[in-house]
Structure 1
């Protein structure tokens, strides 16, 4: 019995060693790859010379903390992203991490292509690390209870103005309170007329006001709406609402009058001409411009003093929001590793903070906002309180950009712009233009 017992003990020891070795060799899936092997994920970004240093440093920092994950950076010019992404998705050769709103189409288009990974379980497991991102931003990319994107930016729309030109004209700066009804479109027109300078030479003209928004978002500024509510929840345009809301005609008539009646805004052809010299606001050719919040960092290099104000008041006004998410491709071969990278990008103590510091972009994470207010106050010469008021006010009634939430919006937008260009040039009336847009949108085959 003692001999049998000894043999049994030896056998059990060998068995345990074999099993241990097998478990060590096989290993489970982890953020470092299978069996400790190094895996490579691709990070797709827009070509931007101002971003490359941050992108390269972010990759270096991430790889230092995650030695088994290599990040390959792929840059594509924004105008090419839609076409190239469509090819990637159809071939299955997809980037692992990217932003669906960095193309000319947006989130809804790519979700409609089943190109975005459901991140719900990842978010639930790492909820503590994402707690700084407000629910109203997270909810933009929650569809039918599933989360498809992690917000990285929370940008509103504003009116940027050239303080030096205001000073020359003896004008008071606009308020920062979105509820101040004295700063309305009539007041903005009055200011634009005083700021416009025309000595007969087109190259020297300074325009008082430029609204960079699309026609549909110009309508939002007056409480109008081109599409029905369900278009923003289903992602399908459906029947347009262009002729249903009189605010649409009111808004576009106002902006057309700025061009042709009051001559304080450039025609499309004149805008193309002055843009040859660079951004019209940056070159001092426009005194006030309505633009997305990227103006906060785009205008940093300006050689003049500038400030920020609300979009002029009118009942029902809706500012456009631009909340860009990080996404993971549904066909990613390494979703766990890609999620580790997304978490790293969203870390308010790491990449999200360095992104804000490097670009001045408005962060999605609320814990970074105080730093951002301070940074913008130093750039604009405005008080921290005023920066906070003008920024936060944009989100009270703001709505996420239509091209982000309605599928195949690049086709829709092109269709609208083709007609509105003729309206702005005075070749069609606003009523004729809206009827034509309604007809053309209804004829689109968006299947």
Structure 2
């Protein structure tokens, strides 16, 4: 019996020593994965796969907090969904604001790095300020070994749209379409019917004029600068006046905002104020105390907007409303889309964890969340198309229009165009022309100066 007891004690001692040797090794591996700021070379043996489709490991992970620099504070619910899948990773929004948003983000990146707490992810508008400082990580190696993306169907050229020189510095994490918003109560009041989804710009103009009654303080169009900044540029594409949004040429190297065809489209929109009176303009709006500046006030038949206005309308509007795609032009029908670029920052200490957030954007859970909040699903899937009819946001609405806008769109350019953020002056300029009667020809020297600058910067970036 004593001998058996000694053997048992020895055996237990061996087992304890084995676990004592194994546990530190596992712990060290976890710490390295959670804290390392380096990216293993593709094909490295033993590397962790960054794809967000991985099931959370049963192994212990040190907690990671990712700093995402953004100007939007409406994504907390999606951050929480991501955290539920990866309990050791928390996404923390670092909010910034300002007119020169990209340079503000660059300054924020520098400040956080100086403090020893570098940011991990950032939303972008224009790549130019980030490329000069080498601030962006190339996402292509991560995505090439991301098994979760290999079975995801996306629009042709979706990821490639944000490549420069073979490097993928960002990806579109959201597709925000825009619609014409319709006040159905005013349709009824003025004896108008909800038009079909293939309506035309002439239909749009006729209906706006028919629903204008200055005595009642009601107008066909909301006095929204987005009619100038977004609607008119989509009309130029639909009419064949410009091949791309933002009045850009075919290869996105020059603005053609000063071309006769584009200026004719802008003049057409200006006449909605100067001739028809259906667009109030700045002066009339001031006289009315701003009542026609917001669609939710119920004083206007049409407005345009995207995901940022849909939930407030659902919760607060005291009238029936619906959506339509932008009208059909002389050549085609095109609705304005905004791709939101997100980048992984080169200074991140947690690159694998940060990439998991990027990959998570293309999983069904995240895609459905975006539909519920007014965005398109980027992923091409029958399940996601069917989900539009189930989404609480779209109950009782023109869901056929919502489905059409996924493929009936022009994508707003920008990130890969040098000095594009400086070109954003075109939006206030068009607004002043349409809403304040500014002379359209005043744009010519502005376009010429910017065209020269963007070509110079393009040469510098390519060197």
Task: Establish whether TM, by shorter chain, passes 0.5.
Answer: yes
- The alpha-carbon deviation at position 440 of structure 1 amounts to 4.7
2:105 aligned with 1:85, yes or no?
yes
**2:450 corresponding residue in structure 1:** 441
Q: Tell me the equivalent position of 1:44.
A: 69
Q: Distance in 1 between matches of 2:393 and 2:20?
A: 65
- Residues 248, 391 of structure 1: alpha-carbon distance in 2 compared, 3 angstrom cutoff: same
Residue among 139, 160, 176 paired with 2:160:
139
Between the aligned partners of 1:434 and 1:425, the Cα distance in structure 2 is 15
Please, which runs of 5 or more residues in structure 2 have no aligned partner? 1-17, 37-59, 458-463
Question: TM-score scaled by structure 1?
Answer: 0.75
TM-score (norm 2): 0.73
The reply to whether residue 165 of structure 1 matches residue 177 of structure 2 is no
Q: 1:309 to 1:55 in 2, by over 3 A?
A: closer
1:95 counterpart residue number? 119
Give the aligned partner of residue 303 of structure 1. Answer: 318
Name the CA shift for 1:145/1:252 in 2 (closer, same or farther; >3 Å).
Answer: same
**Contact 2:307/2:374, CA 8 A, preserved across alignment:** no
What is the 5 A alignment of 1:406-421? 406-414=417-425, 417-418=428-429, 421=432
The CA RMSD measured in Å over matched residues stands at 3.8
Distance between the aligned counterparts of 2:336 and 2:29, measured in 1?
49
Q: Deviations over 1:315-354 (max 9, x none)?
A: 23443221224321122222111112323344213x4434
C-alpha distance in 2, partners of 1:373/1:274? 39
Which residue number corresponds to residue 57 of structure 1?
A: 80
Aligned to 1:401: 412
Change (3 A) 1:146 1:369: farther
> Corresponding residue for 1:371?
387
> Offset at 1:87?
0.5
Per the alignment, residue 9 of structure 1 pairs with none
Whether the 8 Å contact between 2:120 and 2:345 is mirrored in structure 1 is yes
Q: Is the 8 A contact 1:47 1:78 kept in 2?
A: no
Partner of 1:266: 280
- 1:356 to partner: Cα distance: 3.9
Query: How far apart, CA to CA, are the structure 1 residues paired with 2:307 and 2:424?
Result: 21
Structure 2 contact 68–119 (Cα < 8 Å) conserved: yes
Asked if structure 2 preserves the Cα contact closer than 8 Å seen for 1:54 and 1:355, the reply is no
1:340 has 2:356 as partner: yes
Correspondence 1:154 to 2:168: no
Change (3 A) 1:274 1:90: farther
Cα distance in 1 for residues equivalent to 2:400 and 2:294: 29
Give me the whole-angstrom Cα distance separating, in 2, the residues matched to 1:24 and 1:377.
46
Relative to structure 1, the CA distance from residue 52 to residue 145 in structure 2 (aligned partners, 3 Å threshold; closer, same or farther) is: closer
* Distance in structure 1 (CA, Å) of the matches to 2:422 and 2:370: 32
Query: Contact between 2:67 and 2:120, CA under 8 Å: does it hold in 1?
Result: yes
In the TM superposition, residue 38 of structure 1 has moved relative to its aligned partner by 3.9
The equivalences for 1:4-23 within 5 A come to 23=25
Q: Deviations over 1:113-169 (max 9, x none)?
A: 643321112212224346335133333234444433343322333322111111111
Asked whether the 8 Å contact 1:92–1:331 carries over to 2, the reply is no
* Structure 2 residue 312 is the aligned partner of structure 1 residue 313: no
1:181-238 deviation line (CA, Å, top 9, x unaligned): xx22222111111111201x8xx3433466253464553343223333233xxxxx5x
Residue number in structure 2 paired with 1:12 = none
Contact preservation (8 Å) 1:221, 1:311: no
Q: Give the Å deviation of 1:261.
A: 1.3
8 Å CA contact 2:256–2:262 kept in 1: the answer is: no
Q: 2:146 — aligned with what?
A: 126
Equivalent position of 2:460 in the other structure: none
Preserved CA contact (<8 Å) 1:292 1:320: no
User: Any conservation in 2 of the 1:45–1:74 contact (CA below 8 Å)?
Assistant: yes
SS in 2 for 1:308: strand
Shift of 1:427: 4.3
Residues 338 and 411, structure 2, Cα contact 8 Å, conserved in 1: yes
Alpha-carbon distance between aligned partners in 1 of 2:143 and 2:308, rounded to the nearest angstrom: 28
Asked if structure 2 preserves the Cα contact closer than 8 Å seen for 1:220 and 1:319, the reply is no
Q: Is the 8 A contact 2:178 2:305 kept in 1?
A: yes
